[in-house]
Amino acid sequence: MTARLDPFAAAPALVKQWMGTSIAINDSLEPTLVELVKIRASQINQCANCINMHTGEAREKGESEQRIYMLSAWREAPCYSARERAALAWTEALTRISEGHGGKAEAYAQLAAQFSEEEQVKLTLIINIINGWNRLAVGFDLWIETPASRKLAA
């Protein structure tokens, strides 16, 4: 696949700021939780680039193969904590917001039971950031190999 446009070259200052914001927000919650959220949103958005990138990064941060493979069926898989389930439910509710708001109240109740108000904002920002990256990658046909994804391919 050939990229339609390289956003890093087309708008370097803005993309650098977006990247900086992404990094700052990513470091605000548990590393594996953040990667699970990124992978799940990327699965929903069918962003191969981000799925490839974040599964590799999740492994580097200690995430197990089982939990990565089971992520698309997390509701039925017994390997996720209540906190992770709340984060994944919130991720799905926000990522699928255009499909309607059904389930949002239940997802928020789970979120509020597991996350402080500050953590709720942090998680919501993480979800917004990954959805933005998904749209950049899908929209411009990006494929970025990271050191983590290169290790996985080897």
- What are the residues whose beta carbons fall under 8 Å from the beta carbon of 62, sequence distance 6 or more? 32
Q: Could you read off the pLDDT of 59-69 as tens digits, one per residue?
A: 999 999 999 99
> Can you give the pTM of this predicted structure?
0.92
Task: Note whether residue 4 is domain-resident.
Answer: no
Task: Note whether residue 1 is domain-resident.
Answer: no
Assess whether pLDDT exceeds 70 at residue 90.
yes
Question: Is 66 in contact with 79 (CB distance < 8 Å)?
Answer: yes
**Residues found in the chain:** 154
Task: Note whether residue 2 is domain-resident.
Answer: no
Q: Which of these ranges, 82-86, 105-109, 142-146, has the smallest mean pLDDT?
A: 142-146
Q: Identify the domain containing residue 54 by its residue range.
A: 18-153
Assess whether pLDDT exceeds 90 at residue 144.
no
Task: Note whether residue 97 is domain-resident.
Answer: yes
Task: Note whether residue 93 is domain-resident.
Answer: yes
Task: Note whether residue 7 is domain-resident.
Answer: no
The dihedral built from the CA positions of residue 88, 92, 95 and 101, taken in this order, carries a sign that is negative
Six-digit token string for 85: 């389930």
Assess whether pLDDT exceeds 90 at residue 1.
no
Task: Note whether residue 12 is domain-resident.
Answer: no
Q: Report the CATH number at residue 97.
A: 1.20.1290.10
Task: Note whether residue 98 is domain-resident.
Answer: yes
Six-digit token string for 38: 């990124």
Q: Could you read off the pLDDT of 24-52 as tens digits, one per residue?
A: 999 899 999 999 999 999 999 999 999 99
Question: Structural domain tally of the chain?
Answer: 1
